[in-house]
Amino acid sequence: MAPILVALPLAFALLCLAVPWARLRVVLLVLGTWAHLGAVAWMWVGRPVEWVQVSFVGLDALGQLFVTLLSVLFAATSVYFAGYEGRTAVSQRAFLACMLALLGAMSLVCVSRHLGVLWVALEASTLAAAPLIYFHLGSRALAATWKFLLMNSVGIALALLGIFCVAVAAGGRGEALWLNRAIVRPLDVDPTWLRVGFLLALVGFGTKMGLAPMHAWLPDAHGEAPAPVSALLSGAVLNAALLALLRVYHICAEAGQGAFAGQWLIVFGLVSVGVAAVFMFGEADFKRLLALSSVENMGIIAVGAGLGAVAAYPSMLHVMHNTLNKGIVFFLAGLLGHVFATTRMAGIRGVMARMPFAGVLLAAGLCALCALPPFGTFFSELGILMGAAQAGRWVVLAIFTALLAVAFVNLASAVVPMIFGRPPEEVTPAPAAASIAGWRRHTMLTVAGLLVLLAAGLGAYQPEAVRNALAQAAESVCRPGDDTAPVATFAEVQP
């Protein structure tokens, strides 16, 4: 079953390359992503957990969670893209094919059972995403593409070295790299090389994930890419790298190095949250601001995962909600970019007055990013904080809370004027506003609105299946030790 998830988008990508009509290609994009979503949905209802393992690919709980998020986001994005208009510098044919190839590559990341295959798929996703960033012509897009391509390739190369180190730590036995045959006896593993391997993987995958000292490419790429691509980068590509990192983390935890690895995850996570929180202040571009928010959220997830089993469940919850939120805000950013003909926040004012529905959605998106209660991010961040308290990591708790507060203030003070502020006099209503056809605007708004509904709904009420899936995913990141049963305590605050 799992190979279908990879093969389906790739087949549609080839179809896209072959079909001569531009309109039909967009239809194919939508069909491809929705077929993918259908396959994923069939998996949820069809067979619960014991998936067929075809040597290199197969699904476990963690992979299932990530591939589902990926599929939902792509399905939404493809519809949104149908309404999004923009001239492409790369040909539309190649652009759409790359988008589908990206979906295929990232599905492979989610379903691969071998770290080497996972690496190949992840690098392939970098390569498929690079042309997407060069959507708008011009030197800035070019520079952003270059930075993305080079930094990610080098970063991922280091991660490959990290994977090799993990295999060396296991005495060169290849089984170490098979995820389903994880190392069981810690004695068989050389701890030094495992640590080296984890650190390299952290730096390498962290580059692609946007963790702080290595995040330099991220605001540029997100700022330059068209909005749907930014949504994919933030919501899906970063997740794929996160998944890869979690896989290595899991191996470390199994081999008895979980505390060491968690420590470094927390350090990088806190630095990411801090850097993002500080740089949000004074960022003039809306999409770059959102990119920094992605850095912040990846940092939050890293901290949560690093805390170990006590915060694994809320981390997975945060992964889910972050993906949906990123879709919402980037879709809105794309719409506003069209309407106001700029993505600079100074030029976007009074959204509520001009487009009430979009204003409401933007306010909702802001609430979601800032982790206000109806949205799931509130519960996930609260859960991570409680986990830190439960583990007795008071320093982490204090720093984390303070940084979250700074990020909250900076983000809100930047976005609130966009919603409620008075449009500056000198900014005439952009001529672009009239030029987008009504149906395009409605498509974009509808997709964003549906995502808001989904996010708020999942925040307010989680079906049993979702909760189980998250719990299982959390367990395959970090098995609860003998200390406490964290999921039970956390479930009390959950609606």
Residues making contact with another protein (CB under 8 A): 56, 114, 116-117, 119-120, 123-124, 126-127, 130-131, 134, 138-140, 142-147, 149-150, 153-154, 157-158, 160-161, 164-165, 167-175, 177, 190, 192-193, 196, 220, 284-285
Rounded to a whole number, what is the largest CA-CA distance in the chain? 70
Least distance to another protein, CB of residue 125, Å: 10
Q: Residue 347 or 449: which CB sits closer to another protein?
A: 347
Q: Residue 116 or 417: which CB sits closer to another protein?
A: 116
Least distance to another protein, CB of residue 200, Å: 10
**Nearest CA among 373, 240, 365 for reference residue 290:** 365
Least distance to another protein, CB of residue 334, Å: 19
Q: Residue 94 or 352: which CB sits closer to another protein?
A: 94
Least distance to another protein, CB of residue 293, Å: 18
Q: Residue 5 or 120: which CB sits closer to another protein?
A: 120
Whether residue 104 contacts residue 233, with contact meaning beta carbons closer than 8 Å, is answered with: no
Structure tokens that stand for 61 in this block: 């709980």
Least distance to another protein, CB of residue 19, Å: 23
Q: Residue 219 or 262: which CB sits closer to another protein?
A: 219
Q: Residue 198 or 313: which CB sits closer to another protein?
A: 198
Q: Residue 151 or 358: which CB sits closer to another protein?
A: 151
Q: At what angle do helices 356-369 and 394-420 cross, to 10 degrees?
A: 170
Instruction: Compute how many other C-beta atoms are within 10 angstroms of the C-beta atom of residue 223.
Output: 21
CA dist., res. 336 & res. 351, Å (int) = 8
Q: Residue 255 or 305: which CB sits closer to another protein?
A: 255
Least distance to another protein, CB of residue 56, Å: 7
CA dist., res. 176 & res. 31, Å (int) = 38
The runs of H, that is alpha helices, within 46-179 are 61-83, 92-111, 115-133, 139-169
Structure tokens that stand for 250 in this block: 């899991």
Q: 421 exposed, middle or buried (CB, 10 Å; 0-12, 13-18, 19+)?
A: middle
Instruction: Annotate 187-221 with DSSP letters as a single string.
Output: GGS-HHHHHHHHHHHHHHHHHHHT-GGG-THHHHH
Least distance to another protein, CB of residue 176, Å: 8
CA dist., res. 260 & res. 199, Å (int) = 10
Least distance to another protein, CB of residue 337, Å: 16
CA distances 395 to 258, 391, 409, Å, are 19, 11, 21
Least distance to another protein, CB of residue 155, Å: 10
Q: Residue 197 or 306: which CB sits closer to another protein?
A: 197
CA dist., res. 468 & res. 455, Å (int) = 18
3-state percent breakdown (helix, strand, coil) of the chain, nearest 5: 80, 0, 20
SS3 487: helix
CA dist., res. 444 & res. 6, Å (int) = 27
